[in-house]
A and B are shown apart, each in its own frame.
Chain A
């Protein structure tokens, strides 16, 4: 009997510990501790969590608003926000191409808010009804591994245009992602379709295929592999190339004519748990400090002229990028272009 008593007391101790722990935790989660109504904002981040946290930590220090964050690829963020419309989980959508935000706007998942700090952002880079606001720009670029180039092509000039990439000497030396899965590669082909017309773009890709070493799924992979010397040229967003360059890889970037670009955007989720805080965050995001924090580590260019070009960054305006690129048109053509591309070969 003594044994039984001991065992039941240990069960009681354990249950008490568990109950206290659980109750305390849920009270903590609902914000009972930490003094007067601690506010919390919930963020879906499409850009890297490390950069998002840097900005949100500063925001927290300034406003006292704490945050929960979940990093997601843009496709997942869009389907999450749409699926949660009945019961929105997040307040703020951070980063990701503006066309994704446009999809959400059309689905009625976003809250319109024109921040006073958005006044100096050019019109094409923010939604006219305030459903999303641009944050950074990132053009498509041709990244060349200098070392491998020297070994293979000596002192030949680097390719300057997309058409230069058709040169047969590049057979198996170029990496470009699959536009069916990669937003990066899709931006590239959609811009070409806008400048040259759809048929010529398809014709171009058809001629380019023999030169492509592979078509990876994710947008950043071609330049990572080019940096490692697996092939010579990678077509990706400029920011990704600069970031890899400053990690110590021999990369030179060229932004060719007709290069499309990405507008990284911000938006507020409609009916989220803390829309007021989301508006404050939007105001804060559009000040110079977060802009600088972001561009300095992602090497994108801010939509605001008042945010300086990051050290070692390239000012998009000095390049030949396709400034007329219409991202909304690109978004509407997506399915058609992708299936036309799939039929090539």
Chain B
């Protein structure tokens, strides 16, 4: 970056000379203050001293907090271990079917996390397929409600997240160091322990933290299979239902604290940098040291078991969606799909699709504007703007939903019951991801290129449209696809915001599963995945090779 004149006066001056940028800056400020800062203040204000006293005087809340910490740590630990082994098998071994295994780890991203809870109920619930089979054949009663079930379900729901994070790290580890270590005599497990694992460690910790926050804020699965094992996010829901916004706010704030700590730790780890980024990309021609035949067999078995588990979860959902009442009446039927996916009185999937698309488009557009002004334009309060833009990424979805409903159901601005509030909630959760990516891309485009264009006579709009945006296109589309998929599957962020007119599919799945209407839950889940896949297909057709969607 070139040295520029500094000082607040100077930057304000320059901003006023550039009215279009001024408008962008002011709009961004207004939006973030209204939808990030204002709800936060209202929540803190609503929590009130009395409610804090109540929270700390009643043991059940303390227990919920403890339960949340315990279950999230356990699930994050197993998800990370499984994610690591799975990724290690794909990147370090000679096993067959790597492409298949990658695909399997990708497909859970298509489904809302609560679908794992649903599939778990269908398989291992009291009346589940496997439980029933065990019961009739071995007279063995399976009861996994509570911590054991929750642990399994969260592990399976979030292992793909751990897998992806760790894959990124394993990919960037250069074989050089491993070969060098081998030449020095390190073999087998010692090589793994002293080199590979050490290099991957920051990524592994990062994966653990990411999964932990996600489990911490997870709402659907604990509500479905937690049983008497109550968690904070579920208690928040209960208090909102009982019209105790104050108590819910107290718990919301408590829910945020560990998330913020994790966010801070994560930034520390990332900014310290890992060894892997220093050594750079793999050098071509060098072949990675791979595992022994025995290890390969073990890894293959491991990955196959995990894949089998995931496939059976999807299979049981599909079976339930297309049969009358699977297990009791296996006749093929389209009834459920017609009733809850393609019916005018049940527009949940359509609602999800449209709201997710709108929100994803807006999120990416807003991220683009923010990244542009933050990287390129000098103005006072830039750090505040940057902070409030990335803040929602650290906030659990349950909290974002809570804050929006508390702030906009009463008071000067009432948005409750509108589709706008749902779109905004989705946007807030996804925009920071795009914003971070785009900021990085903007920084990569050297300012001198733009200046050169300006010198050659292009005005700032032309510079942007012909120089900057084409270079950002890949990031933009990738972020759009990511935001869209996440929006389709979000539950905890919008559970408080839906209305009869704006029911969304993830909430429908949750409601049907909770009340035991499993075939409808399964039908909506299938409809939702179909809609996601269809849209991604259309995007793929439009952008062809420019977007990597199905590249696993």
Query: Is B344 close to A, CB under 8 A?
Result: yes
List the B residue with the shortest CB-CB distance to A25.
Answer: B354
* B501 A75 Cβ-Cβ under 8 A: no
Residues of A within 8 A of B194 (CB): none
* A89 B417 Cβ-Cβ under 8 A: yes
Query: Is A49 close to B, CB under 8 A?
Result: yes
Query: Is B241 close to A, CB under 8 A?
Result: yes
Residues of B within 8 A of A216 (CB): 228
Residues of B within 8 A of A86 (CB): 414
Instruction: Among B141, B511, B515, find the residue whose CB has the most chain A CB atoms closer than 10 A.
Output: B515
Q: Which of B240, B242, B503 contacts A70 (CB 8 A)?
A: B503
A:73-103 near B, CB below 8 Å:
73, 75-76, 78-79, 82-84, 86-87, 89-90
Query: Is A275 close to B, CB under 8 A?
Result: no
Residues of B within 8 A of A89 (CB): 417, 499-501
Query: Is A217 close to B, CB under 8 A?
Result: yes
Q: Which of A50, A60, A73, A83 contacts B416 (CB 8 A)?
A: A83
A49 with B499, Cβ < 8 A, contacts A84-B417, A224-B126 known: no
Residues of A within 8 A of B242 (CB): 75, 79
Query: Is A155 close to B, CB under 8 A?
Result: no
A:36-58 near B, CB below 8 Å:
42-44, 48-50, 53, 56-57
Query: Within the complex, what minimum Cβ distance (angstroms) separates B324 from chain A?
Result: 13
Query: Within the complex, what minimum Cβ distance (angstroms) separates B126 from chain A?
Result: 6
Query: Is A345 close to B, CB under 8 A?
Result: no
* B500 A68 Cβ-Cβ under 8 A: yes
* A25 B500 Cβ-Cβ under 8 A: no
A10 with B361, Cβ < 8 A, contacts A25-B354, A79-B243, A82-B243 known: no
Instruction: Among B344, B511, B520, B546, find the residue whose CB has the most chain A CB atoms closer than 10 A.
Output: B344
A14 with B520, Cβ < 8 A, contacts A4-B470, A66-B344, A86-B414 known: no
Selecting from A16-24, A113-121, A307-315, A320-328, the interface stretch reads A16-24
**Contact bitstring B465-479, A, C-beta under 8 A = 1, else 0:** 010001001000000
A7 with B473, Cβ < 8 A, contacts A22-B357, A79-B241 known: yes
List the A residue with the shortest CB-CB distance to B339.
Answer: A53
Residues of A within 8 A of B23 (CB): none
* B466 A4 Cβ-Cβ under 8 A: yes
Query: Is B278 close to A, CB under 8 A?
Result: no
> Number of contacting residues on A, CB 8 A?
48
Query: Is B542 close to A, CB under 8 A?
Result: yes
Query: Is A71 close to B, CB under 8 A?
Result: yes
List the B residue with the shortest CB-CB distance to A92.
Answer: B500
Query: Within the complex, what minimum Cβ distance (angstroms) separates B325 from chain A?
Result: 11
Query: Within the complex, what minimum Cβ distance (angstroms) separates B203 from chain A?
Result: 33
**Contact bitstring A18-36, B, C-beta under 8 A = 1, else 0:** 1001100100010000100
* A87 B512 Cβ-Cβ under 8 A: no
Query: Within the complex, what minimum Cβ distance (angstroms) separates A1 from chain B?
Result: 9
Residues of B within 8 A of A60 (CB): 345
Residues of B within 8 A of A56 (CB): 345
Q: Which of A14, A29, A82 contacts B501 (CB 8 A)?
A: A29
Query: Within the complex, what minimum Cβ distance (angstroms) separates B356 from chain A?
Result: 11
* B409 A83 Cβ-Cβ under 8 A: yes
List the B residue with the shortest CB-CB distance to A9.
Answer: B542
Residues of A within 8 A of B546 (CB): 7, 10
In the bound complex, CA of A142 to CA of B378 (Å): 73
In the bound complex, CA of A199 to CA of B241 (Å): 31
Residues of A within 8 A of B538 (CB): 17
Query: Is A13 close to B, CB under 8 A?
Result: yes
Query: Is B533 close to A, CB under 8 A?
Result: no
Query: Is B498 close to A, CB under 8 A?
Result: yes
* A83 B243 Cβ-Cβ under 8 A: yes
* B515 A49 Cβ-Cβ under 8 A: yes
**Contact bitstring A220-238, B, C-beta under 8 A = 1, else 0:** 0000100011100000000
Query: Is A67 close to B, CB under 8 A?
Result: yes
Query: Is B87 close to A, CB under 8 A?
Result: no
* B414 A68 Cβ-Cβ under 8 A: no
B:476-534 near A, CB below 8 Å:
498-501, 503, 511-512, 515, 517, 520
Query: Within the complex, what minimum Cβ distance (angstroms) separates B526 from chain A?
Result: 18
Residues of A within 8 A of B354 (CB): 21-22, 25
* A50 B126 Cβ-Cβ under 8 A: no
Residues of A within 8 A of B511 (CB): 49, 71
List the B residue with the shortest CB-CB distance to A50.
Answer: B517
Query: Within the complex, what minimum Cβ distance (angstroms) separates B267 from chain A?
Result: 33
List the B residue with the shortest CB-CB distance to A48.
Answer: B515
Query: Is B539 close to A, CB under 8 A?
Result: yes
List the B residue with the shortest CB-CB distance to A47.
Answer: B515
Interface residues, chain A, with chain B CB atoms under 8 Å away: 3-4, 7, 10, 13-14, 17-18, 21-22, 25, 29, 34, 42-44, 48-50, 53, 56-57, 60, 66-71, 73, 75-76, 78-79, 82-84, 86-87, 89-90, 214, 216-217, 224, 228-230
Q: Can you list 23 pairs linking A and B with CB atoms under 8 Å apart?
A: A10-B542, A13-B542, A14-B539, A17-B538, A22-B357, A34-B344, A43-B500, A48-B517, A49-B520, A53-B339, A53-B345, A60-B345, A70-B498, A70-B500, A75-B241, A76-B240, A79-B242, A83-B409, A83-B410, A87-B414, A89-B500, A217-B228, A228-B141
A-B residue pairs, 9 tightest by C-beta: A79-B243, A70-B500, A76-B241, A68-B500, A42-B500, A25-B354, A89-B417, A89-B499, A75-B241
Further pairs besides A10-B546, A66-B345, A84-B417: 18, Cβ < 8 Å: A4-B466, A7-B470, A7-B546, A10-B543, A14-B542, A21-B357, A25-B350, A53-B345, A68-B501, A69-B500, A70-B498, A79-B243, A87-B417, A89-B417, A217-B228, A228-B126, A228-B141, A229-B141
